[in-house]
Amino acid sequence: MPDSPPAGSSPPQDPPLAIRIRRVLGRREIGLLLLLATLAAGAWIFLEIADEVNSGDIVTVDERILMLFREGNNPNDPIGSHSVESAVRDVTALGSLTVISLLTLITVAFLFLSRRPRLALYMFVASAGGAALSYALKFLYNRPRPNLVAPEALPSDPSFPSGHSAAAAVVYLTLGLLLAHTLARRELKVYVVTLAILLTVAVGLSRLYLGVHWPSDVLAGWTLGGVWALACWQAERMLRQRGLVEEEAHPEPEDARVTA
């Protein structure tokens, strides 16, 4: 017969659920599950926003938020001085197709020169794919732009989702996550990723300030770009673990080094 517990002692209790999960799944598997849950949540949020946009139920909320960025007596005029408006236009350019394309090409060229051609190709495909998806969704939903500014001042493409917000999230977050992998110190990793997030947020807010996007456009752009960047980051990690993407830069050949 099995030994009975000593008198006065409490019977053994089952370990907490978190401990039992750790016994079944390793740390890497738990991280992957959390990431997949985050991606699924992001996709669900985007679809919910798109459904609200299609039904028209979000228009009132959009208008109220957008008016927070306008002078009370003149909805066509953003709050603040002309110098503030000029500064915001500079910020919004960080999410423009020109700046994003230049930054991507500079990064791709740097990776090629660093002897990481497969990572360079991956970065190009990830950035171009995110931008292509954003513009495809624009013409799928075909939402009109806000009417707060003169029509000739508005971009000609549809409003939903915000291309600037999505592109900034795709490129800046992807670059930040990839760069964080190469850094040893934790505080530097946090700094790089935080900077990428702040740039993404600043670009989106600048679109609201200028009155060229509805708030739901920007939120959808952030969500779309963030989900895409996280998916690309995880895909890059898996490719790197399988040796399909370079882990580190290849060393210079001996005959190419300058000897003293």
Confirm whether 256 is domain-assigned: no
Banded pLDDT at 79 (limits 50, 70, 90) = confident
Question: 162: domain range?
Answer: 31-247
Confirm whether 9 is domain-assigned: no
- State residue 258's pLDDT score: 47
More confident residue, 31 or 38: 38
Check whether 61 has a pLDDT greater than 70. yes
pTM for this entry: 0.80
Q: How many CB atoms lie within 10 A of CB 231?
A: 19
Check whether 104 has a pLDDT greater than 70. yes
Angle between helices 174-182 and 215-241 (to 10 degrees): 40
pLDDT digits (tens, 9 = 90+) for 124-171: 999 899 889 988 998 898 888 888 766 656 677 888 999 899 999 989
Please state, rounded to an integer, the average pLDDT across all residues of the chain.
81
Q: Of 28-37, 132-141, 177-186, 202-211, which range is least confident?
A: 28-37
List, as own/partner pairs, every contact residues 27-33 make where C-beta atoms lie below 8 angstroms and the sequence separation is at least 24, other chains included.
32/234
Confirm whether 17 is domain-assigned: no
Confirm whether 45 is domain-assigned: yes
Q: What's the rounded mean pLDDT across residues 188-204?
A: 93
Q: Which residues of 195-228 are buried (b: 16+ CB within 10 A; e: fewer)?
A: ebbebbbbbbbbbbbbbbbbbbbbbbbbbbbbbb
Confirm whether 75 is domain-assigned: yes
What does the angle CA 237 – CA 241 – CA 243 come to, to the nearest 5 degrees? 115
**Which one of the listed residues 82, 164, 181, 250 is annotated catalytic?**
164
For the chain, what is the domain count? 1
- Assess whether 250 carries a catalytic annotation: no
pLDDT digits (tens, 9 = 90+) for 201-223: 999 999 999 888 999 999 999 99
Structure tokens, 199: 């740039």
Confirm whether 8 is domain-assigned: no
Contact 179, 171 (CB under 8 A): no
End-to-end CA distance of the chain: 81
Whole-number Å distance between alpha carbons of 115 and 250:
6
- State residue 204's pLDDT score: 94
- State residue 142's pLDDT score: 87
Confirm whether 26 is domain-assigned: no
142: left (phi over 0), alpha (psi -120 to 50) or beta: left
- State residue 4's pLDDT score: 57
More confident residue, 39 or 19: 39
**Which one of the listed residues 82, 181, 213, 250 is annotated catalytic?**
213
Confirm whether 118 is domain-assigned: yes
